[in-house]
Amino acid sequence: MFSLDSILNDNQSGSVILTQNVLKLYRDYLNDMLSTSKTLEEIFDLFQDVAKRIMRKQPNMVLLRKSTNTILIYFKRLVKSEKETEQIIKAVEKKIVSIEQEINARVQKIGNTGSKIIAPTNKIMTLSNSTLVRRIFETAYNHKRKFEVYCCKSHPPDEGIQLAETLDKMGIKTTIISDSQIGVFMPEMNLVLVGADRIYDNGFVNKAGTLALCLIAKYYNIPVYLAADTTKILLESERIVKFLSQNTQEVYNGNRKKIGIENVYYEKVPIEFVHKVICEDSVFDTVDFINWYLKE
């Protein structure tokens, strides 16, 4: 069972895995509430408080936000009905399961579609720990394609190491490099593949370092592919992009107290640096993706 603290302190998982873990937490939480003497209104209020804490911690994970809001709206509507508490809780659980199934289906589609861009002998660079990127690699490997992956360490908090270890366990040839060495190895690459927590009007949000990765790839004429399902689209006219400061000791833990320290995990990346977008519908040229999905 996932605890609320483990969810709030998770700085390694991509948005898909984190959302899946949160949905499991919601289901466990509702089951626990059935054995209490709390009223349905009290259960909803407590559930809503937990959901808001999680969303405040991850303001740019659109998949998490949209999934949670869908559940809250559905739950609130049922609270106003005349159904029994247990019946309502079971209905909300069923709704959560259906959202989980939809997410899994999109991940599988993107894995299948994205795997087709990977050719034998490709060398591919990635950054952070995207579930969709990992699934693309996994699917391509299962299709007997032999390729290499260069995982940027993604410091802090080094979640690229976790991706590298996962790929190595699958049998995929994998190399870890420090983020400062992107330019050293980029000329050897055939393509760059990254994920996103959010797509907005003219860009996307991903782990800090992605912008530098894309700029270096552009300098060497290496195509950048973005893997993201369309549920991650959230225009800034609806909600501005926010960045939170993280644990500064990950950057500097010395004894010079007057040194300023900043640690922001995410950044905006102009979508113009992306060659193609891999989503659940197809692989789109960036211009076509913008016209189909980002034009109001």
pLDDT at 259: 96
The residue ranges of every structural domain in the chain are 4-108, 116-294
pTM of the full structure: 0.94
Cβ–Cβ < 8 Å for 62, 35: no
Query: Which residues of the chain, if any, have pLDDT below 70?
Result: 1, 296
DSSP assignments along 80-93, one per residue: TSS--HHHHHHHHH
pLDDT at 177: 98
Contacts of 174 (CB under 8 A, 6+ apart): 148, 149, 150, 151, 164, 167, 168
Cβ–Cβ < 8 Å for 130, 162: no
pLDDT at 195: 98
pLDDT at 224: 98
CA dihedral 125, 66, 21, 95 (to 10 degrees): -140
Q: What angle separates helix 15-34 from helix 131-142, to the nearest 10 degrees?
A: 110
* pLDDT tens-place string over residues 129-158: 999 999 999 999 999 999 999 999 999 999
* pLDDT tens-place string over residues 209-222: 999 999 999 999 99
pLDDT at 1: 57
Helix (H, G, I), strand (E, B) or coil at 121: coil
Q: Which CATH architecture has domain 116-294?
A: 3-Layer(aba) Sandwich (3.40)
Arithmetic mean of pLDDT over the chain: 95
